[in-house]
Amino acid sequence: MLNLDGGAGRQIRAMCRWIAYRGETVALEHYVTAPAHSLIEQSMRAVEALSGINGDGFGLGWYAGHEEPGLYREVRPAWSDENLRHLCRHIRSHLFFAHVRASTGTATTRPNCHPFAHGRWMFMHNGQFGDWSLIRRQAEALIPDAFYRSRVGTTDSEAIFLAILGAGADEDPVDATVRTVAAVTDMVRASGTKDPVRFTAALTDGHDLYAFRYASNDTANTLYYRQDADNVVVVSEPLDNDRAGWRAVPPGHMIVARDGRAVIPEPIPHDRRLAAE
């Protein structure tokens, strides 16, 4: 049997923190800025991260009245941007992403801040793809020319996002994601690095929400979710101290949130290249 659990044992304390929400239309502040352990609080004092500080920029992405998402990304730390609280109070959306970044080596620029958008699609990521410098050229070759023209940053996350779109996300977003991550996992293993693939990510077409928790070894980055009726929030770490209200997504599993569907973590579809080392 293929081992897709990404490590059911120990968890690594990881970089970056993010929130993905799908449900009834609400003000972003309800999840991004108001909770006791809000994303702003996590940008200064993350509990389940390699570093408590996630100050290398932040971003918001939301859907409201247009097919493509709105974006606000900034290179300053989330805690120091006076616009963030005002935006989150006034922007209302049924589906939005928010992300605070801790860079793994690429420059702190707006194009490198999550989330990333292309057409109606939006994506954000917490993790790494081995030693990116060893596979960057090869991995970027996965991006078809029609999508590569949209590559404006230098992060591994943006490259993988465009590769997923090029792999057929419009037809089957889960299959496109699994095949892309599997191909990159092959590259990482062939590169000889001991650094793993860690893929804790969210993807949406503006209607359905997909979230993945995977690692090529036993150090999958943390991921939690909570559902109240049709409202689903997926987070890197809980937004409050009510741990009973949050459920961990098991390693090697994904969340799919659609209209009228209960959210239950399900195994990421098998691909032998995703077996843990």
At 26-69, the pLDDT tens digits run 999 999 988 767 677 765 555 555 554 444 678 999 999 899 99
**Other CB atoms within 10 A of residue 105 CB:** 11
What pLDDT score does 8 carry? 35
Q: Is residue 52 part of a domain?
A: yes
Q: Is residue 66 part of a domain?
A: yes
At 84-117, the pLDDT tens digits run 889 999 999 999 999 886 656 565 677 788 899 9
What pLDDT score does 261 carry? 83
What pLDDT score does 48 carry? 58
Measured distance CA(219)–CA(2) in Å, rounded: 17
In this structure, the dihedral spanned by the alpha carbons of residues 265, 267, 268 and 271, taken in order and rounded to 10 degrees, is 180
Q: Is residue 11 part of a domain?
A: no
Output DSSP code: residue 131: S
Question: ∠ CA 120-128-256 to the nearest 5 degrees?
Answer: 45
Q: Which two tokens stand for residue 236?
A: 């890197």
Output DSSP code: residue 97: E
Q: Is 66 exposed, middle or buried (0-12, 13-18, 19+ CB in 10 A)?
A: exposed
Q: Is residue 4 part of a domain?
A: no
Measured distance CA(254)–CA(264) in Å, rounded: 9
Q: Is residue 51 part of a domain?
A: yes
pTM above 0.85, yes or no: yes
What pLDDT score does 77 carry? 73
Q: What is the count of structural domains for the chain?
A: 1
Q: Is residue 205 part of a domain?
A: yes
45: domain CATH number is 3.60.20.10
**Distance of alpha carbon 261 from the chain centroid:** 21
Give the domain extent around 70: 17-274
- 149: nearest Cα among 109, 118, 115, 173: 118
Q: Give residue for tokens 């939005």.
A: 96
Given a cut of 70, the residues of the chain with pLDDT beneath it are 1-15, 36, 38, 42-56, 78-80, 101-108, 276-277
